[in-house]
Structure 1
């Protein structure tokens, strides 16, 4: 779990050529702050004293800017930098920190780090890493599978046929991501990425057959490590009354909120004789069209309205 500055440097330091300029803190230094006034801070970015970053980066451009300041303006900038209580200040491009910066860091017990990488290279690498490492996560029960390029989560009661449906979809060329306990992380305001716990990766449990290794059976192309969640399909056995309550024009499209992200959800009736694999493929294709701005029910309604207007006789003129 990457939740402290020390853990971040331990994992990324060798790759990003990061090293400590000040002594390594003895206690864990959190990357996230609990101060309500600082909750909206960016995790990392170039030197910014107005909207401070948790990790403030000083490269060649920032160093040149600081060098052009008057003594009083430089002192104010340094005070503002450390008043923001950053988790650390990182110097890139082999920049050597000014003596005043080192003294302010020591006074505020702010760690200083350095890297020979360029500032944007370092920021891009750490931003991507931190976005995934610190993302909110939630584990759901279901089978997560890629169908026609979209991440589809199959949910439903135990023994409803999720794994059997997933197996049939795999034989049709689609790819398994996770069975039983897919883990979803919010990596952007409206994006959930699903992965599989390491222990369960490549495996699919099918009642009557036991545990199947999909990679070993179908090859590398049958599995996928991660995918964004685009659609949820809820498999439910419905009685006649429940089936009749589904709108025949618009279907059963609703939505489910996971980690504050709204994901489209389709209720798919399970009944003998229904080819669920074909129905799932059709549901995915239908959702792709919706994303592109086309809705078949709206198209049908408009056609019907035009047909009715054409069949209606023109109004007769009334003579007086």
Structure 2
């Protein structure tokens, strides 16, 4: 879990050559304060006093700018920089901070970090790492599986057949990501990524069979570590009257809010004799066509409208010949 600068250095320090410049704080230094957790503050970026970053990076260009300032302007800039209470100030390219940085850092209790990597390389690595590590997360009950390259979450009441359906899909060449408690993180404005808790990875519980190790049974190609959530299929045991009430043109397509992102959702009736694995594959193929801009229901309606127009041509106008 990434919740402090100390854990950040433990996980990325050796690879990114990060080190403490003014000593490691005795207590954990939070990466983002609770009041800023949902703010628009950028996680990391080059020195910016107008829109401060959580981690302010100073490279050679920023150092030259600071050195060119007069004494008063330099001190005012540092005062503004530290007043925003960044989680840390990071010096790239092996730069040594001006002595004034150490004085301000001690006054504001701000850690200073250093790295021999260039500022652009450092920002790119840490932005990717922090975006994933600090993303909003939510755990949903269901089976998360990759079908035809799309991440599909199977949900429904207990004992409705989610695990049995997932097992059927796995035998048809699709891949398990997580059973029971997949974890989802919003890694981009419209992107939700699903993963599996470490303790549950590779396992699938099937009633009557117990816990199955899908990797051991079907091989490496039957499991996947993570996938973008593209579609939710809600398995519901509907009676004939409820099934008859479904829209026969558009089906039961709706949307489910997951971490602020609307995920397409299909309610799939569960009834004896229905081959759910084939239906899930068909639902995924249908959703792929929707993403590409094609909707079979709309196409069918347009085709019927054209047929009606051809069968019943417009009457001749007032001045037309008989």
User: Normalising by the residue count of structure 1, what TM-score does the alignment of the two structures yield?
Assistant: 0.95
| Secondary structure in 2 matching 1:310 | helix
State the partner residue of 1:232. 232
Unaligned runs of 5+ in 1: none
Cα deviation, 1:115-151, whole Å, max 9, x if unaligned, reads 0111111112211221122122111111100001000
Unaligned runs of 5+ in 2: none
Greater displacement, 48-57 / 38-47: 38-47
Q: How does 1:250-269 map to 2 (within 5 A)?
A: 250-269=250-269
Q: Using the alignment, how far apart are the partners of 1:111 and 1:211 within structure 2?
A: 47
State the partner residue of 1:110. 110
RMSD: 1.6
Q: Per-residue deviation at 1:211?
A: 1.4
- Residue 220 of structure 1 pairs with residue 220 of structure 2: yes
C-alpha spacing 1:314/1:190, structure 2 compared with 1 (3 Å):
closer
C-alpha spacing 1:131/1:317, structure 2 compared with 1 (3 Å):
closer
Structure 1 segments of 4+ aligned residues over 3 angstroms from their partners:
34-38, 316-319
| Secondary structure in 2 matching 1:31 | coil
C-alpha spacing 1:245/1:122, structure 2 compared with 1 (3 Å):
same
C-alpha spacing 1:172/1:158, structure 2 compared with 1 (3 Å):
same
Cα deviation, 1:39-65, whole Å, max 9, x if unaligned, reads 321111110010001110001121122
Q: Is the 8 A contact 1:49 1:80 kept in 2?
A: yes
State the partner residue of 2:46. 46
State the partner residue of 1:305. 305
| Secondary structure in 1 matching 2:124 | helix
Q: Per-residue deviation at 1:221?
A: 0.5
State the partner residue of 1:101. 101
Q: How does 1:28-107 map to 2 (within 5 A)?
A: 28-35=28-35, 39-107=39-107
- Residue 19 of structure 1 pairs with residue 19 of structure 2: yes
State the partner residue of 1:173. 173
State the partner residue of 1:134. 134
Count of residues paired in the alignment:
319
Q: Is the 8 A contact 1:184 1:192 kept in 2?
A: yes
C-alpha spacing 1:14/1:314, structure 2 compared with 1 (3 Å):
closer
| Secondary structure in 1 matching 2:306 | helix
